[in-house]
Amino acid sequence: MPETGYILAVCTIVFVITLGLRALPFAVLNRLQDSPLVKVLALWMPAGVLGILAASTLQSTIHAEPAQAAAAVAAVAVTAVTHLLGGRRTLLSVGIGTAAYMLLLNAF
Amino acid sequence: MKHPVAKAYSVYALIDEAYAVTAASRDTWTPWRLVTMQLAFQSYWVGGGLTGVMVASLLPDPIHGLEFALCALFVTLTLDAARTRKQVPSILLAGMSFGLAVLVFPGQALFAALVLFLALLLGRYTLLRRTAGHDLTPRKDTGNA
What percentage of chain A's residues is helix, strand, coil (to nearest 5)? 90, 0, 10
* Same domain, residue pair B130 and B77: yes
How many Cβ atoms are within 10 Å of A8's Cβ, its own excluded?
Answer: 10
* Same domain, residue pair B52 and B75: no
Domain enclosing residue B102, as ranges: 68-142
* Same domain, residue pair B136 and B79: yes
**How far off is chain B from A53, nearest CA to CA, in Å?**
6
Decide if B73 and A41 are in contact by the 8 Å CB cutoff. Answer: no
Q: At what angle do helices B68-81 and A36-64 cross, to 10 degrees?
A: 150
Instruction: Count how many residues are written for chain A.
Output: 108
Q: Tell me which amino acid residue A1 is.
A: M
> Does residue B63 sit within a domain?
no
User: Are B82 and A47 spatial neighbours (Cβ–Cβ below 8 Å)?
Assistant: yes
Domain boundary among B12, B28, B58: B58
Rounded CA gap, A68 and A52, in Å?
21
* Same domain, residue pair B72 and B128: yes
Rounded CA gap, B34 and B120, in Å?
36
Distance of CA B101 to the CA centre of its chain: 20
Q: Please tell me the predicted confidence (pLDDT) of residue B122.
A: 92
Substitution target in A79, A82, A96 with the highest count of B β-carbons within 10 Å is A79
Q: Using one digit for the tens of pLDDT, what is the confidence trace for B89-114?
A: 999 999 999 999 999 998 899 999 99
* Number of domains forming the structure of chain B: 2
Q: What angle do CA A78, A47, B143 make, to 5 degrees?
A: 120
* Same domain, residue pair B128 and B72: yes
Decide if A44 and B121 are in contact by the 8 Å CB cutoff. Answer: yes
* Same domain, residue pair B40 and B74: no
> Does residue B79 sit within a domain?
yes
Percent of chain A with pLDDT over 70: 98
Q: Using one digit for the tens of pLDDT, what is the confidence trace for B47-72?
A: 999 998 998 888 877 777 888 999 99
**How far off is chain B from A42, nearest CA to CA, in Å?**
8
pTM of the model: 0.75
Q: Please tell me the predicted confidence (pLDDT) of residue B117.
A: 94
Domain boundary among B58, B78, B104: B58
* Same domain, residue pair B91 and B40: no
* Same domain, residue pair B50 and B79: no
Q: B30 CB contacts (<8 Å, ≥6 apart)?
A: none
ipTM of the complex: 0.78
